[in-house]
């Protein structure tokens, strides 16, 4: 506990120092450098993972590719820098990366306590529990007295404590720094339960040594709004990240895809589409970008729905049905973009 308080105090001190010391124009340094430093995690297929040639892909990776297209007209001007969940905020605060795009859950203490700003939500998730079937647990309420493996520096750890406390259940946490360590410990039966965001559980269950021996319990114990995060000291960069995400969502709402964006730009008469794609007006200027920034985003990576399908759709590496909060607002979900006016 003492260590954790010291770590939080350190992080807060670092954040204060950064806000006071610089009003960094991140866009300028990114342009000068010629690429974005995108903070990701080590390996989370469907969201961020390198292949054997070191090429990164995933939903969170596609967000950095979209940002790169908005700035450089090229989605590949990105360097991916992995860090563990415990190390990621210091990585951003100390400017080793320009943003984190890697399943970071938005909460008050991160938003207001670490000198950071969340640009929006790329994936709505929630925490769950995986157990061996032989444990015979049908519900999280059956886990009284369990040992639970989880990852340090995460909201997972905090939600776990909250849930067991709220339900008057006892547990013993077994905590590791990386996902691979957590899974190895769970597979070696050092704990009864593996807990993290349900998307990760879904991604991992099929890759266990004996996939059929495990089950994900029905409860979802948290609201995890995960999205890109930037430092709080640079409003322009924050706006760019926010509006690149909005452009991805708005493009899906408006039926604009990578395949039809040229035709939409040339012939769609809808004033919002024309402003967004740079056929009319100068919205890009307000972000420090050129007229065609959003056109370049959609042309390079597609809209939010296309990104979702590529990574998490039936043919993606980790199929996660898009049947809940991650749908567009018009289809009963929470994905919504303010207007391009």
- As a whole number of angstroms, the distance between CA 141 and CA 219 comes to 9
Rounded to a whole number of angstroms, the minimum distance from the CB of residue 318 to ligand GSH is 12
- Residues numbered 199 to 228 that lie near ligand GSH (CB under 6 A) are 200, 224, 226
Q: How far is the CB of 127 from ligand GSH (least distance, A)?
A: 8
116's CB contacts (< 8 A; 6+ apart) are 15, 89, 92, 93, 110, 229, 230, 231, 232
Name the residue nearer to ligand GSH (CB basis): 50 or 281: 50
Name the residue nearer to ligand GSH (CB basis): 10 or 271: 10
Residue choice 68, 151, 303, 326 for contact with ligand GSH (CB under 6 A) = 151
Does 71 engage in binding with ligand GSH (CB under 6 A)?
no
What residues between 84 and 123 interact with ligand GSH by CB under 6 A? 84-85, 102-105
Least distance in Å: CB of 151 to ligand GSH? 5
For ligand GSH, give the closer residue by CB, 37 or 105.
105
Stretch 296-325 residues interacting with ligand GSH (CB under 6 A): none
CA 52 to chain centre: 22
Cβ proximity to ligand GSH, 70 vs 83, nearer residue = 83
Q: Is 187 exposed, middle or buried (0-12, 13-18, 19+ CB in 10 A)?
A: middle
- Helical segments of the chain, H only: 2-21, 26-33, 59-72, 88-93, 108-113, 155-166, 179-187, 198-205, 235-254, 261-267, 271-277, 283-287, 293-301, 304-312
If the CB atoms of residues 105 and 122 are measured against ligand GSH, the closer one turns out to be 105
At closest approach, how far in Å is the CB of 256 from ligand GSH?
A: 30
Residues that bind ligand GSH in the complex, under the rule CB under 6 A: 41-44, 84-85, 102-105, 151, 154-156, 178-179, 196-197, 200, 224, 226
């Amino acid at each position: 506990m003492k260590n954790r308080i010291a770590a939080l105090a350190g992080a807060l001190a670092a954040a204060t120092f950064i806000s006071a010391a610089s009003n960094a124009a991140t866009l300028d340094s990114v342009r000068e450098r010629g690429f974005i430093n995108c903070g990701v995690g080590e390996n989370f297929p469907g969201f961020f993972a390198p292949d054997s040639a070191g090429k990164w892909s995933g939903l969170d990776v596609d967000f950095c590719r979209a940002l790169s297209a908005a700035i450089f007209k090229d989605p590949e001007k990105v360097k991916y820098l992995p860090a563990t969940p415990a190390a990621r905020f210091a990585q951003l605060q100390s400017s080793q990366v320009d943003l984190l795009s890697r399943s970071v859950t938005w909460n008050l203490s991160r938003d207001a306590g670490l000198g950071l700003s969340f640009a929006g939500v790329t994936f709505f998730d929630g925490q769950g529990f995986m157990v061996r079937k032989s444990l015979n647990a049908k519900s999280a309420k059956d886990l009284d007295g369990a040992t639970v493996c989880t990852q340090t520096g995460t909201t997972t750890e905090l939600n776990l404590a909250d849930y067991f406390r709220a339900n008057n259940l006892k547990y013993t946490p077994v905590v590791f720094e990386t996902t691979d360590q957590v899974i190895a410990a769970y597979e070696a039966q050092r704990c009864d339960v593996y807990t993290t965001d349900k998307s990760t559980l879904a991604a991992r269950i099929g890759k266990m040594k004996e996939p059929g021996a495990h089950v994900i319990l029905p409860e979802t114990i948290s609201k995890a709004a995960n999205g890109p995060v930037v430092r709080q000291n640079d409003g322009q960069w924050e706006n760019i990240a926010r509006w690149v995400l909005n452009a991805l969502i708005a493009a899906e709402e408006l039926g604009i895809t990578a395949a039809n964006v040229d035709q939409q730009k040339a012939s769609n008469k809808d004033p919002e589409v024309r402003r967004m794609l740079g056929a009319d007006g100068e919205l890009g200027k307000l972000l420090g970008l050129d007229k065609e920034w959003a056109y370049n985003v959609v042309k390079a990576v597609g809209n939010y729905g296309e990104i979702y399908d590529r990574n998490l759709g039936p043919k993606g590496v980790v199929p996660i049905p898009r049947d809940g909060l991650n749908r567009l607002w018009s289809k009963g979900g929470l994905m919504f973009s303010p207007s391009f006016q």
